[in-house]
Structure 1
Amino acid sequence: MAPFDSVTARLILLLAETGSIGRAAEREGIASSAVSRRVSDLEARLGVVLFDRSAQGVRLTSAGEAYAEGCRAVLRAIADLDAVMADYGTGQRGALRLACTSSALTGRLPELLARYADRHPGIRIDIQEMGAARALLALEEGRADLAIVSDHYDFTRFEIKAFEDERVWVLAPPDHPLAPRLDPRTPIAFAELVDHPLVGIHHTGSLDRLLADAAREGNKTLSETLRVESFPALVRMVEAGFGIGFLRSTSLHLLAGTDLVCAPVADPWAQRQLLVARRKSSPLSAAMKSFLALCSDTYAPSI
């Protein structure tokens, strides 16, 4: 059997994640035909079918699931070996690979990274901005050393530490019926908000899931007028009068220059945290140790 091919292995995992040869090719910056040929050559060499193909896309077969899990294990081992080798150096050089949500990048993380870069000029910082689910997958597959994500996920396979406190806020135009009730100094119950039309954000994202779960607990259904994929777009659509919106406190700076009114949501579920996560089995490189120490030293819990 030919030696393990890490490029093809990453393509297999990308296909499993996206379910599409076209999207996988676009993410990797290669031709769809090249992706298809690599998979076909691998299937011929292994003598198994790894993917069921249809007009809707591709899906792992049972053999494909087993191969994909093996790929994850090997790629994790390669990433771990790189981390171990980095510690044999002086500790002044290396890399820190972070998978972060947009909420993390609009909070205290940029200033923290600037301080880290100043203290460790030889450490290359690689930031991948993505949704929380994809960030944790990148961590699981060894494509990131640490992930900074919201707390609304299953972390049983990860070691986690608090990174930043954040709260869910509601925003509305000044002429909205809710506007007189919205005051930054006075939390408002979600029950007073849930029946109003709203602008949705990030389908299957952590904030979307959090709001949907809260509505379901109250036997309610969220009434979305439309859905956007970024917080700046959400602010603009709320400004335009499409409904109320919800933001995390780390994104409230986006309201600067607008006449929108806002208030924190009072319910306990609305007080959340951003967490920094790592795989329990991954070795701690010098770069990771120093970054985690800085996170702990500068974290100030909300009272």
Structure 2
Amino acid sequence: MQIRALRVFCDIASQRSFSRAAAAHGMTQSAASQIVHHLEQDLSVQLIDRSKRPLVLTAAGQLYFEGLQRVLFDLQTLDQEVRSFGKRLAGQVEVASIYSVGLSYMPSAKSEFAERHPDVDLHIEFVIPERVHESVMEGTADLGLISYPKSTRTLNCVTWQREPMKLISAPDHPFANRREVRLAELDGQLMMGFDPSLKVQREIAAYLTRNGIRPKFDTGFDNIDSLIRAIQLNSGIGILPEPAIRREVANDSLRVIQCPDLEITRPLGIIWRRGARLGPAALEFGALLLGRPLKPDESSSEIRRRADAELKQPAASAAT
């Protein structure tokens, strides 16, 4: 089984098109179709449902596609490690990051990376979440740093960490000098919040609603820095990721209010385009952030369950 054939299948699966994948590999559509046919013969299972347009992967095909993505990524990483063995790492890395991740983590990460790899030009652009995805998909960014990461048909992701969300207040808010505040006390309170279009605000609102809490949100802030300033200027309160407000807590311009029954986190992750050939420098920066090699998160157990059911179906039919 040739590696090129596996790459062709992955491109067909990700683009949902034989013709586009064939063009990308400099072959005819018929040749690309034959590659998939041979794979299906070797595996004794249907990978693509050709009766639908655009084409759709079967459950087994989806499982195979996600597994191949990891295998080919590992192979690419190994190939680059061997080629660069004994050589000093050089090149350029483009990273698109949401503002809060950039402010909280990038200064120290960039400094450490520069110390380890002085010949690598690391450029980090701070943008809104939508632009992170666009930059990665357009190829103007090798890696994207985002909250609430999610693998898609076109994007790989790996969960990086989970930030605890805390109740914070301005120093002159009535809650500021309280030893602790119960979650129920937030019901009806005026709170400063993110723009409702942002996932973080929707998650905060949903969590409070599930717990029977309905504060009066003053929203509209599309980044953490603006929200922090609004809370400070308006003697307000809000729920923010703890790492994002450490500087303000240290200089006493914000207070963290203990709220024992507030249990919510914000997941952070790294995303990159499926099929993208990340260079050694980009892989190394991702590994520095994670503390381990950069690899996609595992595929879901649900996909495996559906694939298993589909694989067993012919046998069950024969038995009847």
Give the TM-score band, short-chain normalised: 0.5 to 0.7
| Pairwise CA distance, 1:229 | 4.1
| Pairwise CA distance, 1:259 | 4.7
| Pairwise CA distance, 1:135 | 0.8
Question: 1:71: which partner in 2?
Answer: none
267 and 274 in structure 1: CA distance in 2 versus 1, 3 angstrom threshold: farther
Instruction: Write the deviation string for residues 166-215 of structure 1: whole angstroms up to 9, x where unpaired.
Output: 111111234434334455xxxx6544324310122244223222222223
Aligned-partner SS, 1:107? helix
Question: 1:239: which partner in 2?
Answer: 232
User: 2:217 matched to 1:224?
Assistant: yes
116 and 209 in structure 1: CA distance in 2 versus 1, 3 angstrom threshold: same
From 255, 259, 262, the counterpart of 2:249: 255
From 158, 161, 170, the counterpart of 1:161: 158
Structure 1 Cα separation of the partners of residues 259 and 147 of structure 2: 17
**Structure 2: segments with no counterpart, 5+ residues:** 1-75, 294-320
| Pairwise CA distance, 1:96 | 0.8
Instruction: Write the deviation string for residues 67-98 of structure 1: whole angstroms up to 9, x where unpaired.
Output: xxxxxxxxxxxxxxxx99xx688673321111
**Structure 1: segments with no counterpart, 5+ residues:** 1-82
User: 2:288 matched to 1:291?
Assistant: no
From 106, 112, 116, the counterpart of 2:113: 116
Aligned-partner SS, 2:151? coil
Structure 2 Cα separation of the partners of residues 260 and 107 of structure 1: 16
Instruction: Write the deviation string for residues 212-237 of structure 1: whole angstroms up to 9, x where unpaired.
Output: 22234345544134543443443333
User: Which is higher, the Rg of structure 1 or of structure 2?
Assistant: 2
The one-letter code matched in structure 1 to 2:256 is: C
Question: 1:215: which partner in 2?
Answer: 208
User: 2:256 matched to 1:280?
Assistant: no
| Pairwise CA distance, 1:269 | 5.7
From 101, 106, 114, the counterpart of 2:103: 106
265 and 96 in structure 1: CA distance in 2 versus 1, 3 angstrom threshold: farther
The one-letter code matched in structure 1 to 2:277 is: P
Q: Answer with 275-284 or 250-259: which moved more.
A: 250-259
The one-letter code matched in structure 2 to 1:295 is: L
The one-letter code matched in structure 1 to 2:208 is: A
Q: TM-score, normalised by structure 1?
A: 0.58
The one-letter code matched in structure 2 to 1:100 is: S
Question: 1:92: which partner in 2?
Answer: 89
The one-letter code matched in structure 2 to 1:275 is: G
Percent of pairs identical after alignment?
A: 23
Counterpart contact for 1:225–1:242, Cα < 8 Å: no
User: 2:186 matched to 1:193?
Assistant: yes
Alignment of 1:110-189 (within 5 A): 110-151=107-148, 153-157=149-153, 158-181=155-178
The one-letter code matched in structure 2 to 1:154 is: K
Aligned-partner SS, 2:278? coil
The one-letter code matched in structure 2 to 1:132 is: P
Structure 1 Cα separation of the partners of residues 221 and 112 of structure 2: 33
RMSD between superposed Cα atoms in Å: 3.5
